[in-house]
Amino acid sequence: MHASAVSHAVPSSTVTPQVAHAWLNVSSSLRYDTDDQRITQAIQDLFFVFAHSPTFRQTMQAVQAGGPVNIRVDPEVATGYCDTLQRTVVLGDIYMRSRSHAVAILAFELTNASLANAFAAHYEAAARTRMTPREFADGMERVEYNTIRACQAAYLEARPALQEEGIDNPGSWNCRITPEGYAEPAIASEEDALRSTQMSGHFGRYEQGYAGMLAQMR
């Protein structure tokens, strides 16, 4: 089942009817179980990001242009992922227990969905050139760095609205607060992102997954 995502109160009078209508339009491409209050709440909270972030509005327009996206929660998943080929976003149960984490991980994976063409191009290049697992993982992380940057921008634009809602969480958006109290990106370059994913094991999971695909093709 699908639910509209503008049933929640708007955080300020700066949100125009046009923006609310635009959200109704783009969110119609999101498919999820309306009985799952975790997803419903996260999508309602995502409206605040959409309403106050030009960057995220562009992201959602790209998501809509690509076709419907299915969203579900999986207790076996740690954080979340987007299957861009199947246009499915899978969110981890633990992350979905916190509103501030849930809205951030949903925004991140929908941004990955908006980059489906870039991921598809990398898959095609990998198949054509027989990339090594490391080359494949490196390319995937470089595409995903675009997601990091877009989400950082969306957070910085929408932060006042998130603060007003009580769901401000800079770290979940790959941002941080400076000693002076300003929000800024915590990952400032593509190389920073690569180092971070290598340390977290995210890079390695891409390597392992691709190595498994190569083994099946032999």
**Cα–chain center distance at 189:** 18
Burial annotation 7-25 (CB, 10 A radius, 16+ → b, else e) = eeeebeeebeeebeebbee
SS3 91: strand
With a CB cutoff of 8 Å and minimum separation 6, the contacts of 21 are none
How far apart, in whole angstroms, are the C-alpha atoms of residue 90 and residue 95?
11
Entry pTM? 0.91
- For each of the chain's 218 residues, which pLDDT tens digit applies? 444 444 333 444 468 899 999 999 999 999 999 999 999 999 999 999 999 999 999 999 999 999 999 999 999 998 999 999 999 999 999 999 999 999 999 999 999 999 999 999 999 999 999 999 999 999 999 999 999 999 999 999 999 999 999 999 999 999 999 999 999 999 999 999 999 999 999 999 999 999 988 888 77
Cβ(174)–Cβ(187) below 8 Å: yes
Which pLDDT does position 9 carry in this prediction?
38
pLDDT for position 5: 44
Report the run of H or E that residue 56 belongs to, with start and end.
helix 54-66
Dump strand ranges (E) for 93-202: 175-177, 183-185
Q: What is the per-residue burial (b if ≥16 Cβ within 10 Å, else e) of 29-39? A: bbbbbeebebb
pLDDT at site 15: 81
Residue 213: what pLDDT?
A: 84
Between CA 60 and CA 29 the distance in angstroms is 9
